[in-house]
Amino acid sequence: MTNFACGIAIRAGWNSWETLRRLAKFSESRGFHSLWMTEDIFREEALASLGALAVATNKIRLGVGVLNPFTRAPQLLGMAAVTLSRLSGGRFILGLGRGDDVIIQKRLGLPFKKSFTLLRECLMVAKDLQNEKLNKQRRIGRVSQIVDTDDLGVGHVPVWIGTGGTNGAIFAGKYSDGLILNVYSSISYAAYVRDQFLTAAKAKGRRTADLTMAAFLPVFLSHSDNTTNYATIKRSIAAWLGRFSYGEVLLERSGVDKTIFRRITHNIKRGRSDLAVEFISNEIVRLLCAVGPRHDIERRIEDLRVAGVNTVVLVPRLQSFRAIARTLSTK
């Protein structure tokens, strides 16, 4: 696997182009390997933002973490990947995931079906566009016919699969260039998912040295652990666990009683997030996030490296972005 690197993510909520540009330039000046844009529904659109950042930066790699094959058709995702790679001089990383059925189906009204089939179609389209070979019919997912491409070929665009579960890790090991472990994962769970990822890659006859294992790491920096606002973090963790079924395995692999997951999801489904939060202890927060002073966060990053993660992407709150970038950068 590749050498260790550290990136940083800009979350939704930036209020102007000047703010976005300054955060990007600051990240680049601090020596980060990559800058990532996250995308939340009905917030800032990630690909348009990255197009602007492609011409505002020079060296830092630009990634999106992550897009899904429901809100954008596979062929459009492939076109966007190739275009952003050309705009950035080959610095773009395409992060893809299955999506969230709560958002896709319940909030957007789109059918959440055959997610892995569509995800594989996105990978195939992106690779074909890079090689200028998309001149035949596809009959997988929603792509039934695409005309011949003309001069869209670029160098290799890395496609990393964002996932929190083992099925996604296996899929990534078979088909993608890398895996992005979702936020709120413990060290032991990261090692477990990495094993699934690499085992699947080896079974497919792939070179594991060419693959990347990345992890999105929520970071909450404070002068001491006692000053950390655990209440806010607990609400975020409870909401996250309430949306994904793999949370039960995550907690169990992290040494937490898995019945806690059932209590959390039960209350989230009843609309009682206040009760769900009560089951998130300070210990669980520390298991799933990087919390506290600088040396604690640096220790967490090192633990992820030892567990086999070779790219850690820091995910700070927007208001603490510059402080975290300055404190944890390589310069």
Tokens for 308? 């086999």
Q: What is the DSSP string of 8-75?
A: EEEPTT--SHHHHHHHHHHHHHTT-SEEEE---TTS--HHHHHHHHHHH-SSSEEEEEEE-TTTS-HH
pLDDT score for 101 = 74
Domain extent at residue 39: 5-221+293-328
Q: How many domains does the chain have?
A: 2
145 and 250 both lie in a single domain: no
Q: Determine the Cα–Cα distance for residues 124 and 225; give it in Å rounded to an integer.
A: 46
SS3 220: strand
270 and 133 both lie in a single domain: no
42 and 147 both lie in a single domain: yes
pLDDT score for 315 = 97
pLDDT score for 131 = 62
Do residues 253 and 189 make contact, with C-beta atoms less than 8 angstroms apart? Answer: yes
141 and 257 both lie in a single domain: no
Q: Determine the Cα–Cα distance for residues 226 and 246; give it in Å rounded to an integer.
A: 30
266 and 193 both lie in a single domain: no
For residue 133, give Cα distances in angstroms to 126, 151, 175: 10, 10, 18
Instruction: Give pLDDT tens digits along the chain (331 positions).
Output: 458 999 999 998 888 999 999 999 999 999 999 999 998 777 889 999 999 999 999 999 999 999 988 888 888 888 898 899 999 999 999 999 887 777 777 777 777 788 888 888 888 877 776 665 544 444 444 443 343 444 445 568 899 999 999 999 999 999 999 999 999 999 999 999 999 999 999 999 999 999 999 999 999 998 776 777 899 999 999 999 988 888 999 999 999 998 999 999 999 989 999 999 999 999 999 999 999 999 999 999 999 999 999 999 999 999 999 999 999 997 7
For residue 273, give Cα distances in angstroms to 267, 282, 292: 6, 17, 25
pLDDT score for 139 = 41
173 and 264 both lie in a single domain: no
138 and 260 both lie in a single domain: no
75 and 200 both lie in a single domain: yes
242 and 214 both lie in a single domain: no
79 and 157 both lie in a single domain: yes
Neighbouring CB atoms inside 10 A of 284's CB total 23
Tokens for 234? 């607990």
pLDDT score for 99 = 77
Q: Determine the Cα–Cα distance for residues 253 and 247; give it in Å rounded to an integer.
A: 10
State phi, psi for 174 to the nearest 5 degrees: -80, -40
51 and 71 both lie in a single domain: yes
pTM metric for this prediction: 0.90
54 and 175 both lie in a single domain: yes
CATH number of 79's domain: 3.20.20.30
